[in-house]
């Protein structure tokens, strides 16, 4: 079965650079979620989109922005990168059906390293 | 405020032994409850979930979990652990993405 695809899988950037992470949800899933997982930390919810509109917002820094496109893929844009942004960034998707409410399917993550 | 506590940061069990990973939560209403497994460098895989109904939930890979409302717990169990079960396990609670909370995780090591 198709899964959530994230690209790139690994990314190395310098401080103050920008980065763009991409997420391709499972086909027919209309909701995308972004999480940040620091080293040894639990995943922290950043932001989510439903039908191309922002649906929920968590602890996303102002330096970050995200959007969902007409084909439902999503991009997380990160500017003025800081060392503390080094983390594993997960994307998850869900389809809003009665029996899978809030069940999120996670991608493999993008590991961002800021030097 | 909602929160999730996984009291055990690291657990080591022998292959073939039984396993129980603890999860306690604080939530204003009956939450949706989840257990995820994460292998190194990989994404989170859903093991099982509880929404309502039977409080004993069966999941994939031989895992099960029991929701105990009186104890605010949702412990994960497996009768016989396999070496491939070594991973990080996260308990999560919530009814929406905004209030989804993950526990800090429990790292499982399996001894031969």
Which DSSP string corresponds to chain A? ----EEE-SEEEE-TT--EEEEEEPPTT--EEEEEEE-TT---EEEEEEETTEEEEE-S--TTEEEEE-TTS-EEEEE-S--GGG-EEEEEEEE---GGGTT--EE---EEEEE-
What are the helix (H) ranges across B1-112? Answer: none
B6 phi, psi to nearest 5 deg: -110, 105
For B18-64, the pLDDT digits (tens) are 999 999 998 877 788 999 999 887 788 889 999 888 899 999 999 99
From chain A, pick out residues whose CB is under 8 angstroms from the CB of B90: 42-43
Asked if the C-beta of B95 comes within 8 angstroms of chain A's C-beta atoms, the answer is yes
Instruction: Please report which confidence band the pLDDT of residue B97 belongs to, taking 50, 70 and 90 as the band edges.
Output: low
What is the reported pLDDT for B3?
Answer: 85
* pLDDT mean values, one per 10 residues, chain A (115 residues): 89 97 92 90 88 87 95 96 95 68 81 96
Handedness of CA A44, A106, A30, B99 (dihedral sign): negative
Reply yes or no on whether the pLDDT at B95 is more than 80.
no
What is the reported pLDDT for A84?
Answer: 95
* A42 to B103: CB separation less than 8 angstroms, yes or no: yes
- How long is chain A? 115
Q: In this structure, how many other beta carbons lie within 10 angstroms of the beta carbon of residue A91? A: 30
From chain B, pick out residues whose CB is under 8 angstroms from the CB of A42: 90, 102-105
What is the reported pLDDT for B12?
Answer: 97
């Amino acid at each position: 079965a198709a899964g959530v695809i994230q690209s790139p899988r690994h990314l190395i950037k310098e401080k103050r650079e920008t980065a763009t992470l991409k997420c391709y949800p499972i086909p027919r899933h209309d909701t995308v979620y972004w999480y940040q997982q620091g080293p040894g930390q639990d995943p922290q919810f950043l932001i989510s989109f439903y039908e191309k509109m922002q649906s929920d917002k968590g602890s996303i820094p102002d330096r970050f922005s995200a959007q969902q496109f007409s084909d439902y893929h999503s991009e997380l844009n990160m500017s003025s990168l800081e060392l503390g942004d080094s983390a594993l960034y997960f994307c998850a998707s869900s389809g809003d059906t009665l029996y899978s409410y809030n069940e999120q399917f996670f991608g493999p993550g993008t590991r961002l390293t800021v030097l | 405020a909602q929160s999730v506590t996984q009291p055990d940061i690291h657990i080591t069990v022998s292959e073939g032994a039984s396993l129980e990973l603890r999860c306690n939560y604080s939530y204003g209403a009956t939450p949706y409850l989840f257990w995820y497994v994460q292998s190194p460098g990989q994404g989170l895989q859903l093991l099982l979930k509880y929404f309502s109904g039977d409080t004993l939930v069966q999941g994939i890979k031989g895992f099960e979990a029991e929701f105990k409302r009186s104890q605010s717990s949702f412990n994960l169990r497996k009768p016989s652990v396999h070496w491939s079960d070594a991973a990080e396990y996260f308990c999560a609670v919530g009814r929406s993405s905004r209030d989804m909370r993950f526990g800090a995780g429990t790292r499982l090591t399996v001894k031969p």
